[in-house]
Chain A
Amino acid sequence: MSQFLQVLLSGLATGSIYALVAIGFTLVWQAAQTVNFAQGEFVMLPAFFVLIGMSVFGMPLWIALIFGLAISIVVLGVLFKKMIVEPILPHGGITLIIATMALGILLKESVKEFYSAEAQPFPSLFPGDPINVFGAVLSLQDVFNLVISLGIVVLLTLFLNRTRTGRCMQATAQNPAVAEILGVNVKRMILYTFLINAALAALASFLITPVYLAKFSNGETLGLIAFIAAIVGGFNQIRGAIAGGLLIGVLDNLTAAYVTAQYRAALPLVLLIVIILVRPQGILGTSEGRTV
C-alpha cells in the first residue's frame, strides 16, 4: 500500500509539471491556432538563464530566479511573438509549426554550443526534508512542486474567468474578429497569452530542473510528454491540460512500478493512440468545427 501511495504521489508531483508545460500548448493554440513544438526547449532554457545569472553575474539564487524569469518572458514571450509568430503566422499555421520546430533545434543546439553538452547541477528551490504520508515518503520539494503547479493553475483559471483582461483574452481566443469589433485590444491580449506561456515555462523549468538536471536535451522528452498530455486532456481546455499532465505522470510511474520499466516511454504514445481513437477531442476537451 505504501509503495502504491509513494508511486501515486510522486506521479502527481511529476504530472503537475507536465501540466504546467501542457497548459503552454493550450494557450498558444488558443492565441495563435498553432502548436509550439519548441515548448520543451522553452522549459529547458530558463534554467540556463538562472545558471548564467549565478555563475556569470554572481547573483544569489533567488535574484537569479527573478532574472531568469524576466529574461524568459522577454525572449520566450515578447521576442518569440514579435520575431517568429507575427511574421510567419500570415503564411499559415503549418508554416509556423515548422518554424517552431526549427526554433526548438536552434535553442537546443545553442545551449549545447555556448554552455555545455554536459548536464549541470541546478539548486533546489526548497529543502529536501522528507515528509511521511501514510508510509510513503515525499520530499518537501515534491510537495511544493505539486502545490505551486496546482496553485498556478487555479490562479490562471481565476484570472481568465474572473478578470476583465482574462475574459478579453478568452474572447480573443474564441473569435478575434468579433472581439476586436467589441473593442478588445486583440494584439495586446495575444501578447499577454505569450507572456503567460513564457512565465509558465520558466516556472516549470525552475521546479523540474533540480531533479532532471540542467541539460540541453531536456526539452525533447518534456515537450513530447506535455504535447501528448495536452491532446489527451483536451487541447482547447486548460483543465484538460491539467488532467492530461497528471494522468500521464501517475500512469508513467504506476507502469514503471507494476508493469514494466522498459516500456514506460511507450505509455504516453499508447494513451495518445487510444484517446485519438476513442475520444479525439480529449478527456475534457470540446469538439471544434473548422473550415478547411
Chain B
Amino acid sequence: MYHKHLLAISTALLATAGMAQAQETVKIGTVAELSGPGAPAGTNWRDGIKIAVEEINAEGGILGKKIELSEYDTQTDPQVSRALVQKAIDAGAYAILGTIYSGSTMVNMLVAQQNSIPQFVGSEAPGIVEKGNPFVFRTSSGAQKGVPALTTYFKDTLKAKKVAVAWVNNEFGKGGRNVFVEEMKKAGIEVVADVPSEQAQTDYAADIAKLKQANPDAVFVYMNQEESARFLIEAKKQSLAMPLVGEVTLTEAKVIELAGGAAEGAIAHVGVTATATDVPGIGAFAKKFETTFKRRPTHDAIKGYVGAWTTKYVTEMVGELDGEAFAEKMHGLCLKAADHPKILLDTCWDDRGEMSRPSFMVQVKNGAPVVIGTVPAN
C-alpha cells in the first residue's frame, strides 16, 4: 500500500514538474524542405526563423516565455510533410511555420487545421487560401495576387502583344500559370506558347526551342529555383532573346548562384526582397543574416522571419497561447511597420489568410538582383 502511495505521489510530482517546464517555453515547429528539390527554399526559410527566434528570445520571448524551436525536414515530400506536422503538434507545438512547397502545404495544412494550430506558410498556390482553412496564413502574397501585379509590367512597360509561359508542372506552377493566362486574357495579350516542364527536369533544350519557335515578345517563367536556373542556362545557350520575366523565384540569390551569367537580365516581381535595403528593417535583417550564415538571404528567409515575428505580435495581442483566438485575431488584421518594426512592411491578412503588402520589381544586373520599381499592395 505504502509503495502504491509513493508511486502515485512521485507520478504526480513528475507530471507537475513537466507541466511547469512546458509552461516556461513556447514550442514552435518549423516544418520545411531541408533536403530534396526544395532545400534552397526550406533552408532559407528555417534560417530566417532562427534569426527571428533569437531576437524574440533576446527580447523576453512570447508572453514572457522563451521560444523552443524544433526543425522537421520534409525532404520535399508532401506525405512526409503531413506526418511531420502531426509529429510537431504531438510534441506540443503552439504554431507551425512551413511548408514552402505548395504541394506539401495542400496536404499538411489539414492536420494543423484539425488540431486548431495556426500555421504560417511560404507557399503561393492560390488553392491554399481557397479551402476555407481558418488556421492557415501566408507570409507572402499568393500567385493570384502576385502574378496580376505583373500584368501592368507586361502591358505598359514591355508593351507585349504576345507572350509565352514556361511553368513547372506542380501545384505551385499550375497555380501561377492559370492566374497568368487568365490575366493575359483580361489584358488582351495573346499567349502564343504554353510550355510545361516537370519538377527536377534537367534538360530544357526542347522547351526553349518551342519558345523560340513561338517568338513571343516576352516569356513568363514560373518554376522553382533549380528548374529556373537550368531553364536560364539553356535559354542562354540557345540565345533566347526576349525578356524573361518571373514571379519571385527567377531572380532569387540561389538561382543567380546556380545560373551564373545566364541569369543576367532576368526580371521578376517579388513580394519581398533582401535587396530592398532602403526599407530599414529589411536592410538590418539582410545584414544580420549575412553575418550569421555567410550568405545572402532570399525572400524565403524574410518570409520565415516575418512568420515568426507575426506569431509573437499576434499572440501578445491575444494575450494567451490559444490557437483559435490567434486565428480569429489574424483574420482582417493589418500590422503597421511603424508599430511592429519586425514585420518589415505594412502587411494585412484577409479573412482567408491571404496576405497583402507592397511589393517590388527586380532585375538581375551584374550578378545581383536590383530593385527597378515598387508595386503598391493589391
Bound CA span A7–B206, Å: 6
Q: Which of A6, A117, A265 has the most CB of B within 10 A?
A: A117
Contact B230 A141 (CB under 8 A): no
Bound CA span A13–B234, Å: 13
Contact with B along A91-114 (1 / 0, CB 8 A): 000000000000000000000100
A137 contacts the other chain (CB 8 A): yes
A118 contacts the other chain (CB 8 A): yes
For B226, give the chain A residue with the smallest CB separation. A119
B196 contacts the other chain (CB 8 A): yes
Contact A7 B209 (CB under 8 A): yes
For B43, give the chain A residue with the smallest CB separation. A118
Contact B230 A117 (CB under 8 A): no
Listed stretches B32-40, B52-60, B346-354; interface member:
B32-40
Q: In the complex, which range does the number of interface residues on chain A fall in?
A: 35 or more
Q: Which of B202, B229, B254, B262 has the most CB of A within 10 A?
A: B202
Contact B202 A253 (CB under 8 A): no
Q: Which of A1-28 contact B (CB under 8 A)?
A: 2-3, 6-7, 10-11, 13-14
Looking at chain A's contact residues, the main secondary structure is helix
Interface residue from A14, A130, A221 paired with B239 (Cβ < 8 Å)? A130
Chain B residues in 8 Å Cβ range of A137: 212, 237-239
B310 contacts the other chain (CB 8 A): no
For A213, give the chain B residue with the smallest CB separation. B258
Q: Contacts A6-B238, A128-B237, A261-B197; is A14 near B205 (CB within 8 Å)? A: yes
Q: In the complex, which range does the number of interface residues on chain B fall in?
A: 35 or more
Contact with A along B35-71 (1 / 0, CB 8 A): 1100110010000000000000000000000000000
Contact with A along B249-290 (1 / 0, CB 8 A): 000001001111110000000000000000000000000000
Contact A221 B202 (CB under 8 A): yes
A139 contacts the other chain (CB 8 A): yes
Contact A3 B210 (CB under 8 A): yes
For A253, give the chain B residue with the smallest CB separation. B206
A41 contacts the other chain (CB 8 A): no
For A120, give the chain B residue with the smallest CB separation. B258
Interface residue from B169, B203, B258 paired with A14 (Cβ < 8 Å)? B203
A212 contacts the other chain (CB 8 A): yes
Q: Contacts A117-B36, A141-B237, A262-B198; is A213 near B209 (CB within 8 Å)? A: no
B195 contacts the other chain (CB 8 A): yes
B236 contacts the other chain (CB 8 A): yes
Interface residues of A (CB under 8 A from B): 2-3, 6-7, 10-11, 13-14, 112, 116-121, 128, 130, 137-139, 141-142, 210-213, 215, 217-218, 221, 252-257, 261-262, 264-265
Q: List 21 A-B contacts (CB under 8 A).
A: A6-B205, A6-B209, A7-B209, A10-B205, A13-B205, A112-B35, A117-B39, A121-B257, A139-B238, A141-B237, A211-B233, A212-B230, A221-B200, A253-B206, A256-B206, A261-B197, A261-B206, A262-B169, A262-B198, A264-B206, A265-B198
